[in-house]
Amino acid sequence: MKFSIPDYIQSIESYVPGKPLEELEREYGISDSVKLASNENPLGPSPMALVAIQKSLTALHRYPDGAGHRLVHRIAEFNGIPTENIVIGNGSDDIIALLIRALVQPGDRVVIPRPSFLMYNISAKAAGAVIDAVPLKDMAMDLDAMAACVDDTTRLVFICNPNNPTGTIVSQTAFDRFMARMPEHVVVVVDEAYIEFARDPECLKTGRSADLDRPLVTLRTFSKVYGLAGLRVGYGIMPAMLAEMLHRVRQPFNVNALAQAAAIAALDDADFLNQTLDLVHRGLDALYAGLDRLGLTYYNTQTNFFLIDVGQPAQTVFEKMLHHGVIVRSMKAYGFPTYIRVNVGLEGENQRFLKALEAVLFPDKA
Ligand SMILES: *Cc1c(COP(=O)(O)O)cnc(C)c1O
């Protein structure tokens, strides 16, 4: 065919999502499998969000509110900041793509930690950016090395806090030191998709009113602690001038009506949030204890997921776990060929996972 695709598009590696449950069950001829592969909320969606969705169903023939007026106001109130600093998106993935579209031209540089969330890489490549991938140090973001590769052509730096897939945090002190080194033309994006789960008091948290006059963007999502991954809604907090630019390039109805209604209700559902945090924190303790019994190496996390070194090819362990009806994520594509990532499930799901892992790794003991 005659049409031409830029090299930078051809070089993109597709995002490989966690397998959907139904597909797995069909493929393997099993039922009641558990998915612990995409860091989703095991409790399901916020019940208050479900009620709000029910109420919105009869208005589905209408376009959504393109400005997301009510949701933006609720987010502003929740964070104690003005509405002009907020941009809502079709998941925070959408905000990542919009930031890159507004700020990056082909040949510009974007600094990304590695391994981290794959969408930074994919979206930056799609814009023809040159990527400076900075390896983690001791499983955490190496902010000194990231600052050191910033130059006149750098447009964006991505920080994932806590980091996916390692679960490690950036401290407030390390971040302040890093920001002091940033030239003014660089926009720093802090992706806080898992910030609600973090218990370490040192953990950086951005998006406060004092941050609004800096070239700093905070990303939040309703996909994780609020249990709304399937609806696709997230937001960014940023300087008003940058928000204005994102509004120019976004789709006019980028957040659908059900997602808007659900997200407003989810922010009010403090009970659900607390239940989720309680479940995840207790689940982590149970999983750590189980892995200690198996003598496996794992990495403590500030999120709802963590890495385990299974000491053999992760891809094989992943496949064998599927036969036990347990879906985890192989970390091969993230540069950890013997690591799997697992997220906390319900109590019974965590136990299923531990049993399956034991059977897969220590078949002689069974
Ligand atoms: C899950 C996740 C997101 C959320 O993406 P959505 O598009 O809002 O679902 C963002 N960043 C990281 C690091 C994540 O793991």
Is any ligand 1 atom within 6 A of the Cβ of residue 117?
yes
Retrieve residue 39's tokens: 């860091």
Closest residue (by CA) to atom 15 of ligand 1? 164
| Mean pLDDT of the chain, nearest integer | 96
Cα(89) to centroid(ligand 1), Å: 12
Say what the pLDDT of residue 16 is.
Answer: 74
- Alpha-carbon distance of 216 to 206, in angstroms, equals 9
pLDDT (tens digit, 9 = 90+) per residue, 233-262?
999 999 999 999 999 999 999 999 999 999
Cα–Cα–Cα angle for 94, 87, 192, nearest 5°? 70
Closest to 280 measured CA to CA, from 70, 28, 101, 42 = 42
Q: Residue range 191-205: average pLDDT?
A: 98
Phi then psi dihedrals of residue 133, to 5 deg: -90, 120
Q: Are residues 18 and 83 in the same domain?
A: no
Say what the pLDDT of residue 1 is.
Answer: 79
Q: Residue range 328-332: average pLDDT?
A: 95
Is pLDDT of 107 > 90?
A: yes
Is any ligand 1 atom within 6 A of the Cβ of residue 93?
yes
Cα(277) to centroid(ligand 1), Å: 18
- Alpha-carbon distance of 35 to 358, in angstroms, equals 17
CB hemisphere CA count around 195 (13 angstroms): 20
Is any ligand 1 atom within 6 A of the Cβ of residue 40?
no
Q: Residue range 41-49: average pLDDT?
A: 97
Is pLDDT of 20 > 80?
A: no
Cα(309) to centroid(ligand 1), Å: 24
220 membership: H or E segment, kind and range: strand 216-221
Q: Does the bond joining 162 to the residue before it have cis omega, within 30 degrees of 0?
A: yes
Residue 200 three-state SS: coil
Cα(199) to centroid(ligand 1), Å: 19
CATH of the domain at 303: 3.90.1150.10
Say what the pLDDT of residue 153 is.
Answer: 98
Is any ligand 1 atom within 6 A of the Cβ of residue 91?
yes
Is residue 159 one of the residues assigned to a domain? yes
- Alpha-carbon distance of 225 to 208, in angstroms, equals 20
Cα–Cα–Cα angle for 184, 190, 191, nearest 5°? 155
Cα(190) to centroid(ligand 1), Å: 12
Cα–Cα–Cα angle for 134, 331, 31, nearest 5°? 150
DSSP for 81-96, written as a single string: S-GGGEEEESSHHHHH
Q: What ligand 1 atom has the least distance to the C-alpha of 39?
A: 1
Q: Are residues 68 and 149 in the same domain?
A: yes
Q: Residue range 158-170: average pLDDT?
A: 98
Is any ligand 1 atom within 6 A of the Cβ of residue 193?
yes
Q: Are residues 301 and 336 in the same domain?
A: yes
Q: What ligand 1 atom has the least distance to the C-alpha of 229?
A: 9
- Alpha-carbon distance of 69 to 66, in angstroms, equals 8
CB neighbours of 334 closer than 8 A, spacing ≥ 6?
115, 118, 165
Cα(221) to centroid(ligand 1), Å: 6
Residue 60 belongs to domain spanning: 47-269
pLDDT (tens digit, 9 = 90+) per residue, 124-162?
999 999 999 999 999 999 999 999 999 999 999 999 999
Is residue 1 one of the residues assigned to a domain? no
- Alpha-carbon distance of 30 to 280, in angstroms, equals 27
Is residue 2 one of the residues assigned to a domain? no
Tally the domains of the chain.
2
